[in-house]
Structure 1
Amino acid sequence: MYLLLANPTSGAGQGSRVKAELIAEITARNLSYEDISGTSYESAVLNLRSALKAKRPKSVIVVGGDGMVHLAIQELAGSDVPLILIPAGTGNDFARTMNLDLASPVTALSYSLTHPPTSVDLGRVNGRYFAEILSTGFDSMVNERANQMRIRSKIKYDLAMLLELPVFKPLEYEINVDGDRITTRAMLIAIANGISYGGGMKICPNSDIRDGLFDLLILEPVSKFEFLKVFPRVFKGTHVTHPKVKILQGRKISIESKAIAYADGERIGPLPITTEIVPGALKTWLRT
């Protein structure tokens, strides 16, 4: 028996369409399932938690984006119940890291049903897990602005970036990577378990979600003009060759500054924070 957890409002309503398509495919395959989606984030959490206690599902099928992944991994981390992700969100960054088919829900499901799962790492901060990227600095301030806007489309993040850049100033950071201390000024710091955030921005393109290590990216101060010139390169991951971009690796990373942090698009809160990699914490599918 499979548990089905879907966000009908994800991807500007795409989740509802994908869910219907998926149910048709599950039914055609004569698979037993229970829909535990709920009507809100809170009810989805409670439904998943109680279903995992009461039943022994083969997998949890999650229909949605990175927000639904973030919800599900809080309950699935450390368990032997795998997560089948059917991408239906706006960003789908965890799906990108896992090399899943973003265009065909049926193909994504079929791959998971015909191949064995693998164990991937998760990050943990303030008692919560994250799958992709924890960041602080410019992008976190953009998130703060975007979350205050009433616009529902993805364009609000582009607008928030244009509003934040003219007033943003680099900050002083104290960073501890596995006991090694670093003091630096930076525009942005990203701690990567996966590869991308923001809907395909490959902030740490060489990150390996199975190596038991974070990739730590530090963007040292550059001019606003230089930032705008380099920014488009992040979608191909070629920004990492810029002389002001530094990349380290570590298992336990602490950051101190007068800033806030976000992980997987969710607000973590003010620094300081300490995050650790949890090797092999989640069973899921990585398409090879």
Structure 2
Amino acid sequence: MWLLLINPKSGNGRGNRIGKLVKQELKALGIEYIDVSADSARESQENLKSKLSESQEFEGLFLIGGDGTVNLAVQELVGSDLGLALIPAGTGNDFARTLNLKLKNPEQLISYYLSSRPSLIDVGKVGEKYFVDVLSTGFDSMVNERANAMKRIKGRAKYNVSLLMVLSTFKAKSYRFNIDGLSFESKAMLIAVSNGICYGGGMKVTPDAKIDDGLFDILILSPVSKFEFLKVFPKVFSGKHTTHPAVKISRGRNVEIDSDAVAYADGERVGPLPVKARVIERGLLTWRM
């Protein structure tokens, strides 16, 4: 018996379409499942939590959705023995990239999950919330703040518009850090505390990060001119920005950041700084390639 969670709104309706395909495939294969999907994300999370509290054992959770749906499920799955079988259907699908899920065909992914075993990966924890990809603050968080306030513009377009609006007035801030007991201050434009490789729909902010090494990869982008920022920014999608002299990457298990700024984790708003994040080693059971 499996659990199934579908977010039909993921990827502007991709979740609904792929969810139907998954149900058809599971039925054709004779795989029994309990659907915990609901009309709202909160209800779906509560349904998942309820099933995990029961004595019944499940083979795993088929999750059809994007990074937001993953974040929702992870809050309940960390520390459990239920494996996450992700079938990406979102806009960004960054966690799918981190897991190296190259098979885009849902039927192929289902076959892979049914014929292999999941493994344990690390997760991050900030406050009482878990994240699997990136905790960030600085420029990108301000873009998120502006985009989330937009009502008329939808989808990726609002983030592109927000990016241009924020860039026109953006200034680096002074941050206070503590990484595994080492305290220091630094001016920065962007800070990423990464468990995974990418965020923001394929930006490989920390291309060498490993999700099973017990460490965050911590990127700090020192102040550069707007012209230089526009030169460097596109390189993030290939991971080639790491050689720029303004980019510094270190590793650590416990990270504290403070400034007059807000933080986001896996695209979800954490809130104003200060924040404390730590690695939860081998905290999540999932399939990867």
TM-score class, shorter-chain normalisation, is over 0.9
Map 1:113-262; keep pairs closer than 5 Å. Answer: 113-150=114-151, 151-262=153-264
User: Structure 1 runs of 4+ off > 4 angstroms?
Assistant: none
Residue 18 of structure 2 aligns with which residue? 18
For the 8 Å contact 1:87–1:102, the answer to whether it is kept is no
Q: Counterparts of 2:110 and 2:263 in 1: how far apart (Å)?
A: 33
Deviations 1:201-258 (A, max 9, x none): 0000000001000000000000000000111100000000000000000000000100
Amino acid at match of 2:250: L
Q: Percent identity?
A: 53
Amino acid at match of 2:286: T
Shift of 1:49: 0.8
Residue 112 of structure 1 aligns with which residue? 113
Shift of 1:102: 5.8
More displaced 10-residue stretch of structure 1: 102-111 or 270-279: 102-111
Shift of 1:122: 0.2
Amino acid at match of 1:76: L
Decide whether aligned partners of structure 1 residues 176 and 253 sit closer, same or farther in structure 2, where only a CA change above 3 A counts.
same
Amino acid at match of 2:11: G
TM norm structure 2: 0.98
Aligned residues: 287
Shift of 1:152: 2.4
For the 8 Å contact 1:146–1:157, the answer to whether it is kept is yes
Shift of 1:103: 2.4
Q: In structure 2, the residue corresponding to 1:62 is in which secondary structure?
A: strand
TM norm structure 1: 0.98
Decide whether aligned partners of structure 1 residues 108 and 53 sit closer, same or farther in structure 2, where only a CA change above 3 A counts.
same
Map 1:39-118; keep pairs closer than 5 Å. Answer: 39-54=39-54, 55-101=56-102, 103-118=104-119
For the 8 Å contact 1:66–1:264, the answer to whether it is kept is yes
Q: Counterparts of 2:102 and 2:86 in 1: how far apart (Å)?
A: 10
Decide whether aligned partners of structure 1 residues 78 and 140 sit closer, same or farther in structure 2, where only a CA change above 3 A counts.
same
Q: In structure 2, the residue corresponding to 1:166 is in which secondary structure?
A: helix
Q: In structure 2, the residue corresponding to 1:23 is in which secondary structure?
A: helix
Does residue 28 of structure 2 align to residue 34 of structure 1? no
Q: In structure 2, the residue corresponding to 1:268 is in which secondary structure?
A: strand
Deviations 1:65-121 (A, max 9, x none): 000110011101011110100000000000000011362111222211111111000
